[in-house]
């Protein structure tokens, strides 16, 4: 029996192209080039931040962690569960900083984009020494006030803890009072740190570093374009326009009020890009630089370095159930609902919206769109819907949770499992309280890690099931030919970094991998790749095409139905896991 699969015609409009395997693919296809480029930076960051970390410093850190853990254990054993001031001070001593060399520090400096601004957009680019000093001085009274407040709440926390201790930590009211006052002190510590940082504002001028960044990114991707057999000079000229447009989008997304609304650089890139493309038209000289797929795939391989598998047990089995059991169920049920009930005309749009809504918003949408060959318009539409509902949910959910008198842990788990955007989850959780913020952020982090599994699963399902002729079998070779190879780079980066994360342990992994290699190199680079891709999506999207996908409002109905199911199932699972099966964990958080 002849085995055949559907071979869709080549379409420049899709997020991923199709591949026919040959050895030259390794250096001519964008999937592989994205892998090599992404992994090059992953290994560089791994070397600079993890492998070159001095052995003696690592041994000292391990010893310090051991001592801190011993103090924490002793405190919990003494109090029967109440976390004392000494407990939190020991915990704070486990926070380490990476020690990047000069090259790594320079890399971080040159990756910087426009910063925050309120009234004048130029504040995002330049801050003179005089202005920085004046701002620091202006913030001094607030810092002094926060220091006085910190001293006051610290004393209150000490008194409350002493009272609880006098009763051998057996008086529930005294324990509750001590817990509340210690939490107030912890919140004040965070506020004090922020106030302190505002008294030490450093001058900057990214107008001198942005041209270097442009040349670096332009040269990198132009080299890739040349290997793909296209004209690098034309790409480079167009890239100048794309880069300037991306800077405008980042600047708009950095405005403090817009950030608060949840309208970030991605939304601005799509919105303004579409406006230009559909009015005056995208300039022809910019068109060769609109390599949406190349930017996305490179960004996704870099994102793989943040998919650390040891994160999934950060809050024990309850977190695993809320984030890793509910999420796939919601994803699959929403997709089936879209196909069987709504009869969505596009399976790719259906799965991208389902993943965006159930997993973790934009980053999941990007990974899924690339894995299933979704069109640019489909990705833009699903992100637009997600941003709209995120903006609503991040405000409404804390209000509803407070109105219902829901416990913070339950509320935090509910927020973490349902609001799409990771930043919005932390903000909404924080609005409820410290405990809710910790639970919400941790649940979302565990859900973030699911992106790798989702992208791999969708890629396999698409090549093995969706793209084949009904009733015909697909050989393993055919699956390999059509499999989006960049997913392998994405998973490889995840495996490598997960291995080192496991070796280092939570505290050192946070310092060297998340805050070091991630924050210092890979996250900013990934951010630029995604911003460039969104700018390219905006400049290449046709309103009519977008309206075609929006027909009948089915994408919005799909999102609302899926999100409603997500809200109900997440709340039920969070309640069962945190309050029925594992109340000990809940009490300890």
Q: How far is the CB of 365 from another protein (least distance, A)?
A: 10
CB 378, CB 349: distance < 8 Å: yes
Least distance CB 360 / another protein (angstroms): 8
Residues 6+ apart with CB under 8 A from 262: 387, 390, 391, 394, 421, 424
User: Smallest gap, in angstroms, from Cβ of residue 321 to another protein?
Assistant: 11
Smallest gap from Cβ 87 to another protein, in A, equals 8
Angle (CA) 257-434-136 rounded to 5° is: 50
Q: In the structure encoding, which two tokens stand for residue 549, read together?
A: 């996908």
Q: Give the nearest distance from C-beta 271 to another protein in angstroms.
A: 7
What minimum distance in Å lies between the beta carbon of 196 and another protein? 12
For the chain, helix (H) and strand (E) counts, in that order, are 28, 2
To another protein, the closest distance from the beta carbon of 446 in angstroms equals 9
Give the bridge partners for 375, in sequence order: 14
Q: What is the 3-state secondary structure (H, E, C) of 43-105?
A: HHHHHHHHHCCCHHHHHHHHHHHHHHHHHHHHHHHHHCCCCCHHHHHHHHCCCCCCCCCHHHH
| Smallest distance, another protein to C-beta of residue 533, A | 12
Q: Tell the residue number behind the tokens 């600079």, with chain if given.
A: 48
Strand, helix or coil at 32?
Answer: helix
CB of 130 to another protein, least distance (A): 23
b/e per residue 137-161 (b: at least 16 CB within 10 A): eebeeebeebeebbeebbebbbebb
Nearer to another protein, 209 or 506 (CB): 506
Least distance CB 162 / another protein (angstroms): 22
Vertex 258 angle, CA 191 and 417, to 5°: 70
How many angstroms separate the CA atoms of 195 and 186, rounded? Answer: 14
Decide: helix, strand or coil at residue 286: coil
Question: Please, are residues 262 and 428 in contact by the beta-carbon 8 Å criterion?
Answer: no
CA distance 457 to 478: 16
**Helix locations, 405-433, DSSP H:** 408-418, 422-432
Contact residues for 183 (Cβ-Cβ < 8 A; gap 6+): 434, 435
CB 495 within 8 A of CB 305: no
Q: How far is the CB of 523 from another protein (least distance, A)?
A: 6
Query: What is the DSSP secondary-structure string of 314-328?
Result: TTHHHHHIIIIIHHH
CA–CA separation, 350 and 93 (whole Å): 47
């Amino acid at each position: 029996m002849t085995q055949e699969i559907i071979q869709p015609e080549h379409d420049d409009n899709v997020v991923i192209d199709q591949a026919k395997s040959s050895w030259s693919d390794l250096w001519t296809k964008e999937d592989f080039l994205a892998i090599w480029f992404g992994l090059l930076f992953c290994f560089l960051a791994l070397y600079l931040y993890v492998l070159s970390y001095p052995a003696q410093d690592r041994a000292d850190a391990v010893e310090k962690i051991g001592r801190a853990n011993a103090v924490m254990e002793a405190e919990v054993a003494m109090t029967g569960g109440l976390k004392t001031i000494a407990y939190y001070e020991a915990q704070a001593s486990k926070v380490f900083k990476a020690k990047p060399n000069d090259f790594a520090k320079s890399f971080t400096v040159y990756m910087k984009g426009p910063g925050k601004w309120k009234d004048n957009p130029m504040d995002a680019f330049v801050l003179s020494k005089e202005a920085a000093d004046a701002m620091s001085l202006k913030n001094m009274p607030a810092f002094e006030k926060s220091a006085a407040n910190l001293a006051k709440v610290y004393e209150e926390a000490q008194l409350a803890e002493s009272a609880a201790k006098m009763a051998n930590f057996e008086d529930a009211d005294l324990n509750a009072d001590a817990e509340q006052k210690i939490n107030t002190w912890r919140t004040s510590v965070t506020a004090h740190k922020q106030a302190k940082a505002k008294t030490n504002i450093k001058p900057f001028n990214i107008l001198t570093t942005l041209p270097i960044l442009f040349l670096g990114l332009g040269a990198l991707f132009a080299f890739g374009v040349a290997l793909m057999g296209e004209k690098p000079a034309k790409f480079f000229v167009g890239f100048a326009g794309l880069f300037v447009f991306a800077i405008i989008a980042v600047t708009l997304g950095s405005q403090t009020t817009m950030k608060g609304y949840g309208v970030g650089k991605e939304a601005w890139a799509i919105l303004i890009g579409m406006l230009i493309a559909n009015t005056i038209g995208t300039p022809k000289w910019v068109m060769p630089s609109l390599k949406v797929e190349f930017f996305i795939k490179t960004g996704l391989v870099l994102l793989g370095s943040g998919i650390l598998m040891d994160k999934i047990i950060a809050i024990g089995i309850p977190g695993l159930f809320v984030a890793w059991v509910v999420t796939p169920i919601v994803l699959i049920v929403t997709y089936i609902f879209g196909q069987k009930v709504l009869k969505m005309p596009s399976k790719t749009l259906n799965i991208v919206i389902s993943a965006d809504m159930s997993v973790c918003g934009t980053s999941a949408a990007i990974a899924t769109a690339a894995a299933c060959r979704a069109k640019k318009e489909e990705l833009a539409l699903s992100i637009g819907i997600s941003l709209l509902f995120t903006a609503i949910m991040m405000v409404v959910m804390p209000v509803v949770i407070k109105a219902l008198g829901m416990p913070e842990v339950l509320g935090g788990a509910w927020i973490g499992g349902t609001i799409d955007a990771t930043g919005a989850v932390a903000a909404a959780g924080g609005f409820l309280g410290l405990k809710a913020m910790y639970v919400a952020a941790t649940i979302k982090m565990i859900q973030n890690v699911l992106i790798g599994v989702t992208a791999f699963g969708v890629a396999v399902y698409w090549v093995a099931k969706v793209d084949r002729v009904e009733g015909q079998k697909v050989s393993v070779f055919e699956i390999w030919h059509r499999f989006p190879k960049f997913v392998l780079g994405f998973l490889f980066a995840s495996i490598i970094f997960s291995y080192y994360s496991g070796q280092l342990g939570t505290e050192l992994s946070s310092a060297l991998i998340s805050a070091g290699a991630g924050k210092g190199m890979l996250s900013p680079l990934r951010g630029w790749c995604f911003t460039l891709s969104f700018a390219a999506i905006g400049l290449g999207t046709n309103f009519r095409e977008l309206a075609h996908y929006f027909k009948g409002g089915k994408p919005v109905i799909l999102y609302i139905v899926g999100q409603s199911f997500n809200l109900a199932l997440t709340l039920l699972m969070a309640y069962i896991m945190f309050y029925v099966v594992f109340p000990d964990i809940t009490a300890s958080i």
